[in-house]
Structure 1
Amino acid sequence: MTGYIVGVVISSILIVSVFVLWLILWIRKNNKDNELAKKGKMTEQAINEKLSLWANVNDALYIPSSMFKYDGNKIFEVDGILLTTRALICIEVKNINGTKIYGSGNEKEWVKVIGENKHMIKSPILQNDKHIDHIIKMTNIKMPIVSLIIFDSTSCKELEISNIPSHVVVIRSNELDSTLEGIISMLIPKISKNEIENMYQKLIDHQSNDKKDKELLISFAKEYNEKTFTI
């Protein structure tokens, strides 16, 4: 009888210990995920503020991080849209920790290096191309479009991407000002201010702040392990 009681006590202690360990690991992971999400939002906000200021100074229009809906049930989210007389610039912001991120613009996955470890990440070029495709279908836009991928320079220490498509620019956030000046200097004005304002209004008209749309977008993002998801 004594042996039975001791066995039950030991088993109970083991079960409780395993549960406590699982709980600690879950809390740590949850805290880490929340911290990364918070950091990502801060990065996105800082870049949005910088782009808004640039737009004001350069007679452009800027729409910060927004969710859009069209054709009844098509939903997508973009980190930012900059409208200039030269092009529409679709912004995708990435906050990914890594001593180095490298890859090819024509590949679906890139490599993130942390110390001696390497991890595969999805190419943001493909993600932003989906956003651009939706913008074209939603607005019937007829103007040059640039896909601007911005990695947070405090998180990503080195960026090396080859074979980048001609409509894509991949940079670290500390290169934003010089990159925008470069884009503007390379392209000639093709769109009037009136056309920009009309396009801006079209985009604003399709913005959605509906809670159900947001929940649907988040649920798909989690399912497919994406920061944002395009339906």
Structure 2
Amino acid sequence: MKFLLRMCAVGAAVLSSLAFTATAQAAPVRCAVSPVAGIDWHGCGKAGLDLHGVNLSSANVSFANFTSANLSNSTLNDADMHHGIFTKVNLAGATVLRANANHGAFSEAILTGADFSGATLRAANLKGVSAAGVNLSGVDLSASNALRSVLTGANLRSATLYNVVWRGVNLRNADLTGADLTLAFLAGADLTGATLTGVITTGATFTKAICPNGIVFGRPGANCN
């Protein structure tokens, strides 16, 4: 009887080991699958890869690492990108409609001409991004962080910039019609030629910002409205 019990215990240990091994191997196998809509690449390493023009609509790329990857002209509509690492990634011309990119790391990324309409980028890191002409209309950018980023000509209509910290951001000729800048910190921002019609600026800070009319605000608490 003791022998049978011992054998059962050994068998259970072997099965447990096999299950653990299968689970450990599942991630690299999953990550090796070619890009396709709806793919599960969460947590995968894709740094430096050329993925231009791929269709990753509805894909799960949360926590994935795309550092310095080329995703130009790609499609990421409805993708789950939260906590993804997109540092220095090239997303120029990409379509990223309604994607969840909350807490995403986009520092020094190229977002020129990309369309993020309806996406969420809450608490995203946008430091040093090059995003001329980017479409961020209706995007929730609450609590995002940007430093000396370039968003010239950006479409930020009806965007939510609640409590953002955007220092020295270039927003020349950007359209912020109807945007919510409540508690936004835009010190040193360049808003020359920007459209601020219907913007909510309650508690916003524009210290040393250049307003659409070219006036530089030097006093704390001042705004461009």
- Greater helix proportion: 1
- TM-score, scaled to structure 1: 0.28
- TM-score, scaled to structure 2: 0.28
Higher relative contact order (CA 8 A, sep 6+): 1
- Greater strand proportion: 1
